Amino acid sequence: MKKLNFNGHSSFDGDQSGNWRARVAALVAEKGGVKARDSSRPTSNHTIKTAFDKVQKLFSWLRQDLGFSGLSNPHHLSEKHLIALAGHIAAKKESGKIGAAMAAGYATYCRHLSRWIDKPHLIEVFNKALGKDVCKRSLIAERDKSWEAAGVNVEDKILEVMKYEYWVGLALWCQHWFGMRKNEILMFQPLNDIRPVPNTTPTMVMNGRGRLVKQDLAALHWKEWTGAVNINIVRGTKGNRPRVLWIDNDDAKEIAWLVRNEIQKFGDRETLGHPFSSLEQNTRTYERVLRKFGITNKALGITGHGLRAGFACNMLQSFDITPPVRGGDGQHPDPVQQRMAYKATTEALGHGRITVVGAYAGCITPQAAARQKKARERQALREAESQGPSAAEEMAGPVAQLGEWHKQSVTQVSSFAAVPAGGTVAPLTPEHLP
């Protein structure tokens, strides 16, 4: 018996030839339009596009890398396909081609795919084949990802970028001094977002028409009114939550006013990127310029996000706290001061949970610091044992001398007790000590 494939061509029942990309797109459009945990809530267009890209990638692996070249219908997936995908994801994670977060993302879409084709029992098969360690992620940084840690002079590198693409250099300055995310800086509008915080009441001044108007402090340099600077952003933030960056040092104020004045000189744009380019096009330009100057994990071991990590570590150090990724324990002698420091750093990064700072600076809780200290001590002891006599063996001599001295002291005290009444006993002197 013949039937029509998805592309309209006739084939036999067992044949799976056809337009597999169209089949995947139809499945995602039909099933991926609502959230898995709440079917009453629709998903965004971006989420649907991401789902299509991920599921398409999974099918590409099955057809090209795993030997299932005839598979074109998602509904024909079985246990062998999910087991093969689990092994492939684990192999890529093992080889370092993808990280734990990306592996977890692909695993999530494998589970979604099983539900979409009405075969939820495949989820258990996939989870068992994948294991728990493949997608295990650590929210605590194990190394310093800042540019300074990689031996890169931040100011010199940014100046090099500015000579090539001026607005990208300005974006890097903002990331370095304000700890902004990539999307935040690409959607940043300095003329609207950078505002002075006056500490005095504005005076009345004469405008161009000879009328008295209230003085616009935003038009003056910050040194002329000695106030602070606020950066208020909403576009590009996580969850579109409003975020206020408080700039309280002179260098950061200078950079804020530099960026604001440079945008005024451009005259044809509100954002840092080109006004006639979309956000996606400006993002590609930003990433292309960074690749040109070696700002990648492959070339120099750094990324644009490393400026944000450096901002977090530098801010902690301004509170006399040495981050664990820079050789410290992340603790302050005053617990109140420590909590204030981490709270301020968290808010400056645009987060609400203090523990998020650990993703940039390393472990931050006293318990974690104690565990890290014990681990360093155990490692130092193992290294000492591998090089020569252990610390216990080196201390064997002094310990034996101390024991002998203790016995002599006990003997002398016993003899003192036998002295008749009225007799004198010479006190212990340093000569009695070994």
Mean pLDDT, the chain, rounded, equals 80
Confidence of residue 16 (pLDDT cuts 50, 70, 90): very low
pLDDT at 191 over 60: yes
**Residue pLDDT, tens place only, 116-161:** 999 999 999 999 999 888 887 777 888 889 999 999 999 999 999 9
Asked if 99 and 143 count as a contact pair (C-beta separation under 8 A), the reply is no
* Average pLDDT score over residue span 18-46: 80
**Residue pLDDT, tens place only, 273-324:** 888 889 899 999 999 999 999 999 888 889 999 999 999 999 999 999 999 8
Q: The tokens 């203090």 sit on which residue?
A: 354
The confidence score (pLDDT) of residue 100 equals: 85
Q: The tokens 């539900």 sit on which residue?
A: 115
Question: Would you state the structure tokens that stand for residue 197, as one six-digit string?
Answer: 């915080």
pLDDT at 426 over 50: no
Burial tier of 195 (Cβ tally within 10 Å: 0-12, 13-18, 19+): middle
Measure Cα distances from 236 to 88, 181, 384 in Å: 34, 8, 51
**Residue pLDDT, tens place only, 215-251:** 776 666 666 666 778 888 988 888 788 888 878 778 8
The confidence score (pLDDT) of residue 225 equals: 65
Q: The tokens 């693409």 sit on which residue?
A: 165
State the DSSP code for 34.
B
Indicate the range of 179-193, 233-247, 381-395 predicted with least confidence.
Answer: 381-395
Burial tier of 170 (Cβ tally within 10 Å: 0-12, 13-18, 19+): buried
The confidence score (pLDDT) of residue 201 equals: 67
Alpha carbon of residue 190 to chain centroid: 25
pLDDT at 8 over 70: no
**Residue pLDDT, tens place only, 161-174:** 999 999 999 999 99
The confidence score (pLDDT) of residue 13 equals: 39
Q: Are strands 10-12 and 243-247 parallel, antiparallel or unpaired?
A: unpaired
Give the Cβ contact number of residue 263 at 10 Å.
Answer: 22
Measure Cα distances from 322 to 42, 57, 314, 328 in Å: 45, 43, 9, 5
The confidence score (pLDDT) of residue 80 equals: 93
The confidence score (pLDDT) of residue 327 equals: 84
Instruction: Identify the H or E element spanning 376.
Output: helix 366-387
Task: Indicate the pTM of the whole model.
Answer: 0.66
Higher pLDDT, 399 or 197: 197
pLDDT at 407 over 70: no
Burial tier of 301 (Cβ tally within 10 Å: 0-12, 13-18, 19+): middle
Instruction: Identify the H or E element spanning 31.
Output: helix 20-31
Phi, psi (rounded to 5 degrees) for 216: -90, 100
Distance between CA atoms of 381 and 386, rounded to whole angstroms? 9
The confidence score (pLDDT) of residue 200 equals: 63
What percent of the chain lies above the pLDDT cut of 70?
79
The confidence score (pLDDT) of residue 95 equals: 86
The confidence score (pLDDT) of residue 389 equals: 60
Indicate the range of 8-22, 123-137, 247-261 predicted with least confidence.
Answer: 8-22
pLDDT at 56 over 60: yes
Higher pLDDT, 163 or 354: 163
